[in-house]
Amino acid sequence: MNTELIQEAKRLQEKMEWLTAAVSTDQSRSQASSIQVKLDVFGGICSSFETLVRDERTRLETFRADVEAREVAVRNRETAVENSRALLMDRQIAVNAARDAHVIIGTALMERESELEAGEQVLNRGLESLETREAEVQTAQSILQKERRDLEVERNCIQNAKVNLEDDMKSLTLTTDCTLSELRKAWERDVRGHYEKNESLSRELESAKGRVSGLLSELEAAKGEAIAANKREDEAKSTLEASRRENKSQLENTKKPKDMEAKHAELEAERAMLVSERKSLIEKAALLTSERNGLDSRVSDLESQAKVLDSAREKFENEASRQERAAAEKDQQIGEFQKQVDSLTAQVTELEQAKIQLKSQMDKTKEPVEETMTNPRKRKSDESPTVLFSSWRTAVEDLGDFLHMCKPEMDTDGSCTEEDALKAIGKIAVRESSRDNLLDFFTSSPCDEWCCLDEVAQEGLDAEAAEPCSRHEGGPCLQIRNCNEGQIGGLRYGAFFCINRS
Ligand SMILES: [Zn+2]
Ligand SMILES: [Zn+2]
C-alpha cells in the first residue's frame, strides 16, 4: 500500500518537475494556451493525488474497523476461553474428588476382599477340622462298638467261669482242705530252705570277715616290724657316721702311728660288721615289703569275696521276701477259697435240710389224718420198715440223704472210730422212725448232754441222758452229743460228737 503510494507520489513529482521545466523554457509561443495546459495537467495531478489519498484513507479506515472488530472477537474468545478454563478447573476438581472417592472405595473393596478370603480360609479350616472330628467320632464309635462286643464276650466268659466255678465248688470236697494244707506246707518248707541257705551264707561271711580282720592285724604287726627295722638301720647308719667322724678326728689328733694303725683296724672291722648288718637289714626290709604286698593282695581278694557274699545274701533276702509275699498271697487266696467253700457248704447243708424237711412233710401228708392225730411215733415203731417202702429207689435215696446229712465227729479220747459210728448209725438209719427221731435230736437236743444213740433212735427226745445207759450195761454204748447249739437249722445242723462208753 505504502510503496504504491510512494511510487504514485514519485510519478506526480516527476510530472511537476516536467511542468516547471516547461514553464521556464516556453516563453515565445502562445503563452496563454500553454499555461492553461500546464494548469490542467497540474489539476489532473492534484485530483489523482486526492483520489489516491482518499482511497488510501478509506482503506485505512476499513482496516482499522476490521482490526477493532477482530480485537473484540479476540476479547470474546478470551472470555470464552476463561469461562471454559474455569469450567475445566471445576470439572478437574470434581474428577479429582471422584478419583479419591474411587481410590477409597477401591481400598475398601480390597480390604473387604482380603477379609472375605480370610473368612473363606477360616471356613475351610473349620470344614477340615469338622471332617477330622467326624472321622474321630466314627473311629471312637467303632472302638466303642468293639469294646462293647468285647465286654459282651467277656461277660459271657465270666458267666461261664461263674458256672464253672459253681460246679467246681460243688465238686470240692473235704479233700480240698488236705490239698491246701499240703501246698502250704510245701511253701513253708521252701521258704525255710531259703532261710537256712541265707543263714549259712551269713555265717560264712562272718567267718570270712574274722579271717580278714586277723590278716589285717597280722599286716599291722608286719608293718610295725618293718618300721622298727628301718629305724634300726637308720640308727646303725648314724652310728657308723659318728664313728667315722670320731676316727677322722682321732687320726688328726693322735700323733702316734702305731696306736693309730691299731685303732684304724679296729674301726675297719667295726665298719665291715655294720655294713653286713645293714645288708641283712635291707634284705629283711625287702622280705617284709613283699610279704606286705602279698597280704595286701590277699586282703583285696577277701574283700571282693565278701562283696560277692554280700550280693548273694542280698539276692537271697530279696528272694525270701518275694517268697513270703507269694506265700501271703497264697494264704489270702486260700482264705478266700475257704470262705467260698464254707458258704457253698452252708448252702449245700441248707438245701439238704430243706429237702429232708420237705420230704418228711410230704410223707406226713400222705399218712391218714386220724392216725397222725393219735401217736405217730408209736405207730411207726410198731410197723415193719419194709411196709413203708414205696420203692427200692426212693428208700435208698432217703437213706442216702439222711447219711449225707449226718456229720459225726469223733471225741478226742479216741474211744470211737468213724467205722464204729458208721456201723451204728447205718444200722438204725434203715428205720424211718429212727431217722425222724435223730432229726428231732439235731434240731432241739441241748449240746451239753450225752445220749445213747440207740435210745435216741428208739425214744426220740424222751431218751434218758445217762452215762452208762441201762440198755448197754457192761457193753459198749455209743453216745452222741448235739453240736448244733440249740438252733433250728443252723450251720452245724446234723453235726454231733461220738464217744464209746463201756
Ligand atoms: Zn445222696
Ligand atoms: Zn446205750
Average pLDDT over residues 34-51: 80
The CA 145 to ligand 1 mean position distance, Å, reads 48
Which ligand lies nearest the alpha carbon of 405? 1
pLDDT digits (tens, 9 = 90+) for 162-177: 788 777 766 665 455 5
pLDDT digits (tens, 9 = 90+) for 374-388: 444 444 444 454 455
Specify the CATH number of the domain 190-327: 1.10.287
What does the pLDDT read at residue 373?
A: 47
The CA 500 to ligand 2 mean position distance, Å, reads 9
Name the more confident of 499 and 207: 499
Which ligand lies nearest the alpha carbon of 428? 2
Spatial strand order in the sheet of 407-410: 407-410, 495-501, 477-482, 451-452
Name the more confident of 87 and 257: 87
Average pLDDT over residues 358-365: 72
Q: Taking the mean position of all CA atoms in its chain, how far away is CA 482?
A: 60
Spatial CA neighbour of 71 closest among 95, 79, 393: 79
Q: Taking the mean position of all CA atoms in its chain, how far away is CA 467?
A: 73
Burial class of residue 457 in the structure, from the number of CB atoms within 10 Å of its CB (0-12 exposed, 13-18 middle, 19+ buried): buried
Question: What is the pLDDT confidence band of residue 391, given thresholds at 50, 70 and 90?
Answer: confident
The CA 447 to ligand 2 mean position distance, Å, reads 18
Which ligand lies nearest the alpha carbon of 404? 1
- The domain locations on the chain are 2-23+34-118, 190-327, 346-501
Q: Report how far residue 18's alpha carbon sits from residue 22's, in angstroms, rounded to the nearest whole number.
A: 6
Judge whether 408 and 421 are in contact, CB under 8 Å.
Answer: yes
The CA 176 to ligand 1 mean position distance, Å, reads 20
The CA 352 to ligand 2 mean position distance, Å, reads 28
pLDDT digits (tens, 9 = 90+) for 120-142: 999 999 999 999 998 988 998 89
Phi, psi at residue 452, to the nearest 5°? Answer: -70, 130
Query: Torsion angle of alpha carbons 20, 21, 22, 28, nearest 10°?
Result: 110
Spatial CA neighbour of 421 closest among 466, 369, 478, 364: 478
Highest mean pLDDT (candidates 178-187, 255-264, 295-304) = 295-304
The CA 435 to ligand 2 mean position distance, Å, reads 17
CA distances from 1 to 59, 67, 68 (A): 9, 17, 20
Averaged confidence pLDDT in the chain: 82
Q: Report how far residue 477's alpha carbon sits from residue 466's, in angstroms, rounded to the nearest whole number.
A: 11
